[in-house]
């Protein structure tokens, strides 16, 4: 007859078969929250003002960053992760460095100075 399967998420899967006294365990090791890693390579769709803007730095009142849904979630995850350890966070958008393969811009998240 077939086996009975009981799933336990991150704790692995236990398979019980009829006629067996022992349970076979296919497990992955338990992980602590410290084992979570976040990809710090954040990208965005656009940074304004654009490179060929006629405005000078003195004339700029705002800087804009356009994100799609995935990019926004990624940036939020990075900020949430680093905010657990850092008191000050610097977010830098590289508006003059557009990636040729997909047209996105790089955003860096680093610990800041107070």
What pTM value is reported for the model?
A: 0.61
**What pLDDT, in 10s, does the model give residues 74-86?**
999 999 988 888 8
| 33 pLDDT more than 50 | yes
Query: What mean pLDDT is predicted for residues 107-112?
Result: 87
Q: How confident is the model at residue 69 (pLDDT cuts 50, 70, 90)?
A: very high
Q: 3-class secondary structure for the chain? A: CCCEEEECHHHCEEEECCCCCCCEEECCCCCCHHHCCCCCCEEECEEECCCCCCCCHHHCCCCEEECCHHHHHHHHHHHHHHHCCCCCEEEEEEEEEECCCCCCEEEEEEECCC
Domain ranges of the chain: 1-30, 39-111
């Amino acid at each position: 007859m077939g086996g009975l399967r009981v799933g336990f998420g991150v704790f692995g899967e236990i398979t019980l078969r009829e006629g067996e006294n022992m349970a076979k365990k296919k497990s992955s090791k338990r992980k602590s929250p410290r084992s979570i890693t976040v990809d710090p390579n954040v990208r965005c769709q656009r940074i304004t003002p654009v490179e060929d803007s006629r405005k000078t730095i003195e004339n700029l009142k705002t800087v804009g960053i356009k994100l799609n849904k995935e990019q926004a979630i990624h940036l939020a995850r990075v900020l949430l992760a680093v905010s657990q350890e850092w008191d000050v966070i610097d977010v830098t958008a590289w508006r003059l460095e557009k990636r040729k393969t997909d047209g996105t811009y790089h955003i860096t998240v680093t610990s800041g100075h107070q």
